[in-house]
Chain A
Amino acid sequence: MSGLLGKKIGMTSIYDANGKNIPVTVIEAGPCVVTQIRTKEKDGYEAVQLSFDEKKEKHTTSGLKGHFAKAGTTPKRYISEFTRFEHRKEFGEVITVEVFIEGEYVDVSGISKGKGFQGVVKRHGFAGVGDATHGQHNRLRAPGSLGASSYPSRVMKGVRMAGRMGNHKVKLINLQIVKIVPEKNLILVKGAVPGAINGYLKIERWN
């Protein structure tokens, strides 16, 4: 596999060769620096650690400062590991959008937008209870029954209820790369990707 780290810029639409209007998400991907190489002997697993996006020196802890200095680069904001990386990458190597090809499919993961504490209708797609009128009082968006009564006499584990929604990792698979702009480090992916604008994304290609 190969991949990159990126940042969500926003959405727009472009036209393909057939004149079809395609909704695209613009992602600023790379350049990423290989800041560590995990090996079987030393770490027990194989992986490549990439770092992306500049960060001020004064906002960097001294431990991380040393970590980046070792790779011969400036402090970076977003660090992530990739397992089973295609080519054997050198320590300190810079990877750009040229690892991708237009038309191929990638997986994009990011942190979804936080929705706060939400009820079951929004969070799990429940239909709510009954009617809005005909004597119905205040149970329009209620979850309804949580289970049977005397047996099991308890609420089963994992019953879907209200709670915190969003702000967790979401991965979308098989998004097509519509266009690549190497001089500006941009890739245009068909459709939406998780998270807010300026949110960090991990882009992986498996094939």
Chain B
Amino acid sequence: MSQNAIIQFVEDQVAVKEFPEFKAGDTITVTYKIIEGNKERLQRFQGVVLQRVGDGPKATFTIRKISNNVGVERIFPISSPFIDEIEVNKKGAVRRARIFYLRGLRGKKARIKEARR
């Protein structure tokens, strides 16, 4: 068995949940589990997807939101068992796959046009 086939086999063991399709520029809400002591609760994080990285179970995505006037970014592994649900709120019309230019923009400039379907 070739090296890639073995790595593939190991990665196939990692369960990847089915999520709706989304890309950079979309606004999504990620519901994820938080474990505090023995208690488990759900928390939501809504923001704009800045980028999607990698493929297969190792893939991650970055979301950015403005919270209390401070930019907050969070990176989620797509196969993280803590992710409960991903909801796509808005499809954004952007021209690139990684929209880091958004970090330098504030207020009205930081808006993203909705994609026409």
* Chain A residues proximal to chain B, CB less than 8 Å: 9-10, 12-15, 19, 21, 24, 26, 28, 181, 184, 186, 188, 197-198
Contact = CB atoms under 8 A, between A and B. Distances in A.
19 contacts: A9-B3, A9-B6, A9-B7, A10-B3, A10-B6, A10-B7, A12-B11, A13-B58, A14-B13, A19-B81, A24-B10, A26-B6, A26-B10, A184-B1, A184-B6, A184-B9, A186-B6, A197-B3, A198-B3
A24 B6 CA distance: 13
A15 B6 contact: no
**Which of B7, B10, B77 has the most chain A CB atoms inside 10 A of its CB?**
B10
Contacts of A13: 58
Contacts of B11: 12
A13 B6 CA distance: 13
B62 interface: no
Contacts of B9: 181, 184
Rank and list the top 4 A-B pairs by shortest CB-CB distance, nearest first: A19-B81, A9-B6, A10-B7, A9-B3
B80 interface: yes
A177 to B, nearest CB: 14
A27 to B, nearest CB: 10
Interface of B: 1, 3, 6-7, 9-11, 13-14, 58, 77, 79-82
Which secondary structure dominates chain A's binding surface?
A: strand
Nearest to A15: B81
B17 to A, nearest CB: 12
A118 B57 CA distance: 37
A19 to B, nearest CB: 4
Nearest to B60: A21
Given A197-B3, A198-B3, A12 B10 contact: yes
A84 B42 CA distance: 52
Contacts of A9: 3, 6-7
Contacts of B6: 9-10, 26, 28, 184, 186
A14 B81 contact: no
A19 B80 contact: yes
A26 B7 contact: yes
Contacts of B14: 14-15
A21 B10 contact: no
B3 A12 contact: no
A12 B58 CA distance: 8
A21 B3 contact: no
